[in-house]
A and B are shown apart, each in its own frame.
Chain A
Amino acid sequence: MTTTPISKLHETFLKGEFAVTGECGPPRGADMNVITKKGELLRGCVDAVNVTDNQTAIVRMSSIAASKHLLDMGLEPVMQMVCRDRNRIAIQSDILGAYSLGIRNILCLSGDHQSFGSQPDALNVFDIDSMNLIRTVRDMRDTGKDMSGFELKEAPKMFIGAAANPFADPFEYRVLRLGKKIDAGVDFIQTQCIFNMERFKEWVRLAKEEGLTERVYIMGGVTPIKTLGMATYMKNKVAGMDVPDTIIKRLSGVPKEKQGEEGMKICLETIEELKSMKGVHGVHIMAIEAEEKVKEIVEGSGLRN
């Protein structure tokens, strides 16, 4: 891993600080004020803001444009990029464009399948997979060449992130896959929302055993649960989510109007564990359409004053 900071987020990690990122979903429309409003809510709370790329396969303002709006506000974006909608030509072109706009962090993802979105009739691309995307960005940065081997005039130098889901199956393969992503060139990892702490710990333990936690910055994903309904929905309907019964029990044990509070408590407890866990270098807060909660979370957990 390079020791010259590529981005502010990279610098945070290099300083050995516990990094905090938030999430900003671009609007289903062309109004940039939605971005600036969300950005203001996150200002001062996070080291960088993740900008989703047509998440759940619903058409939204592009992650590049939204990242640029954040940049103009003085915030640091982490631009997500999925393989679902672009072939390798478009991907590389967008990376060059994003870099020219000042974007320095990229999160490489496969992308939610379009059958979940608002336009399931669409043709998907998946020309390359997220592993290939990581390697592509890494090669552009470290060799200065694009996928064809062409020497780029001013190669983009991105701080490269990827996702990991310790809760998906097959569990044993999840660590091997993490290792593969690291070999492909990833610098930091964001995990799926952690509700099953036991399983997460086991995953980190296995990753440590393989020496992987020394080679990558791992950010644990957290989400404040708002209602019991949200928890059961995530448990039963969202692929790759693991919400154990103990969480459901805790939420159903309090009156409805207190469930949000309880969800927040769970979130803060999770962050507390992550802060002291060896091999974990930060937290990624996914407050879906509840960006105002991020301030509460970072203050409540003592991550920011």
Chain B
Amino acid sequence: MIVGQQKPIEEIKKMVKPYKKLLILGCGTCVKTCFAGGEDETAALASALRMTFKIDGQSVEISQQTVERQCENEFIQEAAKKIGDNEAVLSMACGAGVQAIARRFPKSPVYPALNTTFLGVQESQGVFTEECLGCGNCGLGVFGAICPVTRCSKKLLNGPCGGSQKGKCEVNPETECAWQLIIDRLTALGQLNNLRTYIPPKNWKTSHSGGPRKLVREDHIL
């Protein structure tokens, strides 16, 4: 899922300061799962903002709605009426959702309530870890399904650096060394020989390095 985290309320307040009628728009897919932008978080932020504006002596009318997914027009459409009724939208979606709303409603100012942090998994309740960089050229097959491009701090493709100690990354003792994980897993799978092979420089053309990417599925276009 795409993992996000709410921005500090102070920062949000600064962005939406000019508006008297504000819609807080939640998203019911990824950011809901990571407790950042679903229905509950949308209602909580709406309540918190109403209170803080009131304390500041500002009268701002705040309404809220949550759609299934802010990255798809079909669902965005459901919010069209409320978006039209408000001066601005504070989106609780990931960066993609924020932009999808902006694209669909050229006249509505849209602001992000979250920081989109990464593509990850919920390792355990309330703990999220980054697992994929979306490089567009997946090499997980060689690495025992543990991604060094994402999970090694130096994106090393040919083995661990000298800073791997007791299974931890030198950059942060809380972070597991991806290479220790890869080696352990390949050892268990009897595939450690994968690591004897030289991995040539990665082709980053398929990643964001090649510019903003676009995927066209002819079979789904009319």
Do the two chains touch directly in the complex (Cβ atoms below 8 Å apart)?
A: yes
Do A129 and B157 touch across chains, with their CB atoms under 8 A apart? Answer: yes
Q: Which of B2-10, B74-82, B116-124, B192-200 contacts A (4 or more CB under 8 A)?
A: B192-200
Number of interface residues of B (CB under 8 A): 32
What is the bound-complex CA distance between A135 and B157, given in angstroms?
13
Task: Answer whether residue A270 sits at the interface, using C-beta atoms and an 8 A cutoff.
Answer: no
A179 to B201, CA, bound (A): 18
B59 at interface by CB-CB < 8 Å: no
A62 CB within 8 Å of chain B: no
- Which chain B positions have C-beta within 8 A of A113? 153-154, 163, 170-171
Asked if A170 and B164 sit within 8 Å, CB to CB, the answer is yes
A169 touches B159 (CB 8 A): no
Q: Given A113-B171, A135-B198, A184-B198, are A129 and B155 also a contact pair (CB < 8 Å)?
A: yes
Residue of B nearest to A125 (CB): B155
Is A183 on the interface with B (CB-CB < 8 A)?
yes
Kindly identify, within residues 126 to 169 of chain B, every residue whose CB is under 8 Å from any CB belonging to chain A.
Answer: 153-167
B160 touches A173 (CB 8 A): yes
Which residue on chain A has the smallest CB distance to residue B172?
Answer: A115
Answer yes or no: A84 CB below 8 A from chain B CBs: yes
Contact call B158/A169, Cβ cutoff below 8 A? no
User: Looking across the interface, which residue of chain B has its beta carbon closest to that of A129?
Assistant: B156
> A168 contacts the other chain (Cβ, under 8 Å)?
yes
Chain A nearest CB from B114 CB (Å) reads 21
Given the complex of chains A and B, what is the CA–CA distance between A127 and B213 in angstroms? Answer: 19
| Given known contacts A131-B198, A176-B196, A192 and B162 CB-to-CB distance under 8 angstroms | yes
Inter-subunit contact A240/B199 (CB<8 Å): no
Q: Is A45 part of the contact surface with B, judged by Cβ < 8 Å?
A: no
A 163-201 contacts with B by CB, 8 A: 163-165, 168-170, 172-173, 176-177, 179-180, 183-184, 192
Q: For B153, B156, B158, B166, which residue has the most chain A Cβ atoms within 10 angstroms? A: B158
Residues of A within 8 A of B155 (CB): 126, 129
Given A128-B201, A173-B183, answer yes or no on A84-B154 (Cβ-Cβ < 8 Å).
Answer: yes
Which residues of chain A come closer than 8 Å to B177, judged between CB atoms?
A: 169
Counting CB contacts under 8 A, is A132 at the interface?
yes
With a cutoff of 8 Å between Cβ atoms, the chain B residues found around residue A239 in the complex are 162-163, 165, 170
Given A84-B154, A126-B154, A132-B158, CB of A240 within 8 Å of CB of B198:
no
* A147 in contact with B159 (CB, 8 Å): no
Q: Does A110 contact B (CB under 8 A)?
A: yes
Distance from A56 Cβ to chain B, minimum over Cβ atoms (Å):
12
State whether A163 touches B162 (Cβ < 8 A). Answer: yes
Does B180 count as interface, using CB distance less than 8 angstroms?
yes
Chain B residues with CB below 8 A from A168, complex form: 160-165
Given contacts A110-B161, A168-B164, contact A131 B154 (CB under 8 A): no
Find the A residue at minimum CB distance from B184: A170
The answer on a CB contact under 8 Å between A169 and B201 is no
Q: How far is the CB of B203 from chain A (nearest CB, A)?
A: 11
Asked whether B204 is an interface residue with its Cβ less than 8 Å from the other chain, the reply is yes
**Which chain B residues numbered 167 to 222 have a C-beta less than 8 Å away from chain A?**
167, 170-172, 177, 179-180, 183-184, 192, 195-196, 198-202, 204
Inter-subunit contact A110/B154 (CB<8 Å): yes
Select the residue from A83, A126, A192 with max chain B CB neighbours within 10 A: A126
Determine which residue in B156, B162, B166 has the highest number of CB atoms from chain A within 10 A of its CB, and name it: B162
Instruction: Output the nearest chain B residue to A113 by Cβ-Cβ distance.
Output: B171
Contact, CB under 8 Å: B164 / A88 = no
User: CA A84 – CA B202 in complex, angstroms?
Assistant: 15
Q: Does A143 contact B (CB under 8 A)?
A: no
What are 26 contact pairs spanning A and B, CB under 8 A? A88-B201, A110-B161, A111-B154, A113-B163, A116-B170, A127-B201, A129-B155, A131-B198, A132-B157, A132-B201, A136-B201, A164-B162, A165-B162, A169-B164, A169-B165, A169-B177, A169-B180, A170-B180, A170-B184, A173-B195, A180-B195, A183-B198, A184-B158, A240-B161, A240-B164, A240-B165
Given contacts A164-B162, A168-B165, 11 further A-B contacts (CB under 8 A): A113-B153, A128-B202, A131-B159, A132-B157, A168-B164, A169-B177, A170-B179, A177-B158, A180-B196, A183-B198, A239-B170
A interface residue numbers (CB < 8 A to B) = 83-84, 88, 110-111, 113, 115-116, 124, 126-132, 135-136, 147, 163-165, 168-170, 172-173, 176-177, 179-180, 183-184, 192, 239-240
